[in-house]
Amino acid sequence: MSEIKIVQGDITKMAADAIVNAANKSLLGGGGVDGAIHAAAGPELLAECKTLHGCDTGEAKITKGYNLPAKHVIHTVGPIYRFHAPEEDAQLLADCYRNSLDLAKKNNLHSIIFSSISTGVYGYPADDAAEVAVNTCKKWLQKNPSYEMDISLCAFDKQMEKILVNYLR
């Protein structure tokens, strides 16, 4: 049975069919979780990302995982908070989760671990982002009842873990 779990720790050390990178539009690495994923995966990830020609906000693209325990990396570009109207920010963030899950399904993947998209340097408030993440994942599972998908939402620290657990209840 498909489920949503909350995990806490370093996403680059977690095994799954895919981990989701909170990428920038270039897909060529950056700070935070993006830089950590690129560093852990090795230079082959950057080489493959160069062939993807970037990614728009809310969209998702897939690569191999290379030196990561995860088989694949799904790169998605979250909204920069307050760059759009609040409703548009929420829609774009939901698109990140939905498009990542759709891409995982298209590639016959059955376990996915999401980083907390847009909550770092992009400034999305953790509570609001957690609500969007949990609600979007729940809706996706409801719309895909026959597809087995284990979804994990990864919190880098205990504070984000507590926020995510609160919204999952």
Residue-wise pLDDT tens digits, 37-52: 999 999 999 999 999 9
What is each CA distance from 102 to 99, 115, 150, in whole angstroms? 5, 17, 13
Residue 79 is encoded by which pair of tokens?
């909204």
pLDDT value at residue 41: 98
Chain segment 111-136, per-residue pLDDT in tens = 999 999 999 999 999 999 999 999 99
Q: What's the whole-model pTM score?
A: 0.96
- Which parts of 31-168 are beta strand (E)? 60-64, 72-77, 111-114, 150-155
* Region 3-168: CATH code: 3.40.220.10
